Amino acid sequence: MKLTREEVLHIAALAKLGMTEEDIDRFGTQLSNILENFEALRKVNTDGVPPTTQPNTLCNVMKDDVVQPSLPVEDVLANAPAREGDFFRIRAVME
């Protein structure tokens, strides 16, 4: 079962990953090979077994909603590829 070109393009669109024609072909083959190796998992009996989302016993860790110092704006914007005043500058969302 090889992933079709359309399937690869669909996943790439969901992941927001640009692809060359070569990528589409290569990922199609590689992902199919990997998924084939995982087929045995489907046969494991997991009736009545709950899923594990994370391995420790904590859940719903709460803390008081207290105002605390945060990072200075300049520090946060220091890595910005483009900025305008105290904002990250992005391209137009509506085209």
Partner 1 sequence: MTIPTSLTIHEAHRLLAKKELSSTELTRAYLSRIESVEPKVRALMTVTSELAMKQAAAADKRIADGDIKPLTGVPGVIKDVLCTRDARTTCSSKMLENFVPPYDAAIVEKLYADGMVLLGKTNLDEFAMGSSTENSAYFRTHNPWDLQRVPGGSSGGSAAAVAAGESVFALGSDTGGSIRQPASFCSIVGVKPTYGRVSRYGLISYASSLDQIGPMTQDVEDAAIVLNAISGHDERDSTSMPNPVPDYTRVLGRDLRGMKLGIPKEYFVDGMQPEVDTAIKTAIKKLEELGANIDWNVSLPSTPHALAVYYIIAPSEASANLARYDGVRYGFSCQDAAGMWDALEKTRQFGFGPEVKRRIMLGTYALSAGYYDAYYLKAQKVRTLIRREFDAAFEKYDALITPTSPTVPFKAGEKSDDLMAMYLSDVCTMPVNIAGVPAISIPAGFGGSLPIGMQIIGKNFAEETLLRIAHAYEQATEWHKQKPEI
Token pair recorded at residue 80: 């910005």
CB of residue 58 to partner 1, shortest distance in Å: 7
CB 24 within 8 A of CB 8: yes
Binding interface with partner 1 (CB under 8 A): 8, 10-12, 14-19, 23, 27, 30-31, 33-35, 37-38, 40-42, 44, 46, 49-56, 58, 61, 63, 71, 75-76, 78-82, 88, 90-93, 95
Indicate the burial class of 8 (C-beta count within 10 angstroms; 0-12, 13-18, 19 or more): buried
Whichever of 58 and 67 has its CB closer to partner 1, that residue is 58
Whichever of 5 and 10 has its CB closer to partner 1, that residue is 10
CB 29 within 8 A of CB 7: no
